[in-house]
């Protein structure tokens, strides 16, 4: 059995720039926000040192970029989490609801990211046979029926005020079918899990 390296979809400068102030004016230590975003990626600047960035967003950017997650090999056993609903940072009824597969690897990474960024969220877990989100999409495991079952089994409807769920960016092609089947509003989130806390903060 071939064991492949896991793609963590780490953030690039263009990803980070989406969460920085807009405009072409000089940006903190840089001549532009695109240049500052690259400095953040390179570790030569910190968002928390830039007063133009809201403090909570700055803290989340710095926290996410400071993570050094090393997973050199995929999980040949496709280990699964058994939880149907996962909670990060004590979410309440107004917290966002995310959707992902049941890979142990996926949940290990998400927990590290969300605990570092300190952003609350619910995560509805779809049975993807232990596949990571990207492989689950490729294998067609995020079917509308599987998503509807996951939402029902999680009990999330009784924990949130909204009927809005955010799916992995790679699953964008299934958005409309998921909405028709689940009767929930389905929003396409970012591809990278590292980007999720920043995306959620910007949505607030």
**Domain parsing of the chain, residue ranges:** 13-66, 85-203
User: What pLDDT score was predicted for residue 78?
Assistant: 81
User: What pLDDT score was predicted for residue 23?
Assistant: 74
User: What pLDDT score was predicted for residue 74?
Assistant: 59
Predicted TM-score of the model (pTM): 0.90
Element (H or E) spanning 88, and its range?
Answer: strand 85-88
Neighbouring-strand partners of residue 103: 80
The listed CATH number (3.40.50.1820, 3.50.50.60, 3.40.50.11600, 3.40.50.1360) that belongs to domain 85-203:
3.40.50.11600
Give the residues of the chain that fall short of pLDDT 70: 1-7, 24-26, 71-77
Q: How far is CA 130 from CA 56, 79, 96, 136, 139, in A?
A: 33, 5, 24, 8, 12
Task: Report which DSSP code applies to 171.
Answer: G
User: What pLDDT score was predicted for residue 3?
Assistant: 42
HSE value, Cβ hemisphere, 13 Å, CA-based, for 23:
8
**CATH code 1.20.1440 for 13-66:** no
Q: Which of 48, 133, 50 is nearest to 98 (CA)?
A: 133
Residue 106 and residue 104: Cα distance in Å, rounded?
5
User: What pLDDT score was predicted for residue 85?
Assistant: 98
User: What pLDDT score was predicted for residue 8?
Assistant: 72
Q: Which of 95, 104, 194, 188 is nearest to 142 (CA)?
A: 188
Map 4-49 to HEC letters: CCCCCCCCCHHHHHCCCCCCCCCECCECCHHHHHHHHHHCCCCHHH
**Taking a C-beta distance cutoff of 8 angstroms, is the pair 171, 138 a contact?**
no
């Amino acid at each position: 059995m071939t064991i492949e390296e896991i793609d963590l979809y780490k953030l690039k400068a263009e990803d980070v720039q989406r969460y920085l102030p807009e405009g072409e004016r000089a940006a903190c230590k840089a001549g532009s926000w695109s240049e500052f975003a690259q400095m953040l990626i390179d570790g030569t600047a910190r968002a928390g040192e830039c007063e133009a960035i809201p403090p909570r967003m700055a803290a989340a950017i710095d926290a996410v970029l400071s993570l050094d997650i090393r997973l050199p090999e995929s999980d040949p056993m496709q280990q699964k989490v058994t939880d149907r609903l996962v909670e990060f940072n004590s979410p309440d009824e107004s917290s966002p609801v995310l959707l992902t597969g049941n890979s142990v690897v996926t949940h290990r990474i998400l927990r590290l990211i969300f605990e570092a960024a300190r952003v609350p969220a619910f995560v509805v877990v779809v049975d993807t046979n232990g596949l990571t989100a990207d492989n689950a999409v490729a294998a067609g495991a995020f079917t509308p029926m599987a998503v509807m079952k996951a939402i029902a089994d999680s009990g999330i409807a009784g924990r949130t005020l909204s009927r809005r769920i955010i799916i992995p960016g790679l699953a964008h092609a299934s958005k409309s079918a998921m909405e028709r089947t689940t009767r929930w509003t389905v929003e396409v989130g970012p591809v990278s899990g590292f980007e999720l806390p920043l995306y959620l903060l910007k949505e607030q």
